[in-house]
Structure 1
């Protein structure tokens, strides 16, 4: 549980990146590739300020996630990323006025309950068995 701050940082940067990408795409208006070189259009999208910032935030989120993976079990860390769905839904409701109906709220509640259950079971690599994982040779996989 001592790495929960890094896990939550990963979740929040992931959610923030989604919100930036959405805002960036909304600010671009309707997409049309008519009469435009598709490569040029893709570059315009990628290098628009909010899209670029969102992509950069994803890189930060991924770097944080890689750090987390070096410290805790994957089966513990990965389910926490589902909390990004919760954060995105809540922020999209307030920022973009997106619908947050009963079904979505129920789904969010299930995600939260599941994440709490997973959090109760977690342990870091430091707390796991003191034996380091053994490397597996390719020839051993084919047996």
Structure 2
């Protein structure tokens, strides 16, 4: 993976993680959805700025990923994008004070190891 390809991957991962942050912040503003309030929640989505921002960042992440796919095999790009999971857990821990149990740490370690093995060139 060249430096340009790595930068596209990093941009795709980071913009997706930022999108997740805004979606979580916006979802917190909406409150819990139930059968009774589902329709009003769906309508309110377009009025919550954090949700609009989250969707915009996801769109940027998708654009970066498409550009990455023009340069890298799907068998490398697909697994590499799973780094979003790692950063999402860290984001949840540091910004939303969500706990990280040991089983999740082991899972994240396996994801990181897997990505390294997938992109490793002999």
User: Normalising by the residue count of structure 2, what TM-score does the alignment of the two structures yield?
Assistant: 0.89
Tell me whether 1:49 sits opposite 2:61 in the alignment.
no
Per-residue deviation, 1:105: 0.3
Whole-angstrom distance in 1 between the partners of 2:113 and 2:119: 10
Aligned in 2, Cα 1:79/1:30: closer, same or farther, shift over 3 Å? same
Whole-angstrom distance in 2 between the partners of 1:47 and 1:4: 35
Per-residue deviation, 1:33: 5.6
Q: Kindly report the root-mean-square deviation, in angstroms, between the aligned alpha carbons of the 2 structures.
A: 1.8
Identify the residue that residue 8 of structure 1 maps to in structure 2: 10
Stretches of 4+ moved more than 6 A in 1?
Answer: none
3-state SS of 2:26 partner: helix
Per-residue deviation, 1:115: 0.5
Contact 2:30 2:41 in 1 (8 A): no
Per-residue deviation, 1:52: 0.5
Whole-angstrom distance in 2 between the partners of 1:41 and 1:104: 31
Q: Deviations over 1:8-52 (max 9, x none)?
A: 110111111111111110122233563x682x5312113310011
Q: Which has the larger radius of gyration?
A: 1
In structure 1, stretches of 5+ residues that fail to align are 123-143
User: Normalising by the residue count of structure 1, what TM-score does the alignment of the two structures yield?
Assistant: 0.77
Whole-angstrom distance in 1 between the partners of 2:26 and 2:52: 9
The number of residues matched between the two structures is 120
Aligned ranges 1:78-117 → 2 under 5 Å: 78-117=78-117
Aligned in 2, Cα 1:109/1:4: closer, same or farther, shift over 3 Å? same
